[in-house]
Amino acid sequence: MLPDLQSLLLFVRAAEMRSITRASEACGIAVAAGSRRIGLLEHHFGVRLFERSSRGVELTRAGEVLLDQARQLIERAHATESIMTAYTEGRDNVLRVYANTSAMTQFLPDDLAAFAATERRFRLIIEERWSTEVVAAVRAGEADLGVVVGAAPAPGLHYAPDRADRLAAVVPAGHPIGDEPVAFEQVLAFDLVGLESGSSMMRLVFAQASERLKPLRIRVQVKSFEAVCRMVRAGLGIGILPEQAARYMAASLGLRTVPISDAWASRTMQLCYRAGAERTPGLTELLAHLQERAAGAAQPGREDSVPLAAPVRARGRTPAGPRAGRASGARRRD
């Protein structure tokens, strides 16, 4: 028999709180019952999950492994419950959208909110992932639609152009870099605060520095856009982020955003979906909505504007079909 989710949830809380007693109280069960559940888990797996002492409990090596697995199972269980909630609310169609951080911190929330307001038949389930993870999830059928920056050819997937963005330098007030668009060569002269190396955006930046045979003076690496801005405010270097996302955070921290003028710094978001997914209820409508919003935002003459393929039309309109915007081969990056 497999362990039940309530026991796994109790185990996770005990690991986080370092106390079976406090975890049991948090889960609303008697301490004796909580201790027995943990004991049954250990008996089921045949290993000790905790080292117990008068100060509380500490995870064993086996417990650390189970903690990671249990968190993933609980997360999937919550996601499943959220999806099934749509059916209890009378909405028969669920669309799962995975998007990269650049899209999630810029335009996508407003775009999806506008769709949800007009298409109440559909429930949107949205998750933030790196672009590489988004593509993998769409290919595996875990997501109906992905939003990535660029798109590497992947078997069984189609791509359609979405919004454009531009990378920008994030600098303190009074920094030698002025307000006019700056060449990447000038940015390379300063210490940098960057995202973690696994970020596709950072791989792009590293590649551009390498092409110029110049070192990238990374002083700090962090996991979020906000952390980049806070490190810049602390005087630890200048940052490189998508311009629109940086503007939202930089203004409140007294920072400036300066567009990078190089052509490679202008990027095109891509919508990706499985071949044949146009039969998924609501997906054609969502694709059409997002492309129409992108077309409206791409004003002629703007540096971040990009040509768009003909928008995907919803069923019942003139059918261009979701395949109309299949992309060629720009690399994925965040």
pLDDT of residue 87: 61
Q: Where are the beta strands (DSSP E) in 244-284?
A: 255-259, 266-274
Spacing of C-alpha 215 from chain mean position: 28
- Give the pLDDT of residue 133: 87
Can you give the pLDDT at residue 145?
94
Which pLDDT score, from 0 to 100, does residue 329 have?
Answer: 35
Residue 122 pairs in a beta bridge with 93
Taking the model in full, what pTM does it have? 0.63
**Per-residue pLDDT at 313:** 39
Predicted local confidence at residue 220, as pLDDT:
93
What distance in Å separates the CA atoms of residue 310 and residue 321, rounded to the nearest whole number? 10
pLDDT of residue 92: 57
Pairing of β 192-195 and β 238-242:
parallel
pLDDT for 223 equals 87
- Whose tokens are 């086996």? That residue is 62
Q: What is the pLDDT at residue 278?
A: 72
> Could you say which residues of the chain have pLDDT below 70?
82-83, 85-92, 150-152, 198, 298-334
Half-sphere exposure of 98 (CA within 13 A, CB side): 21
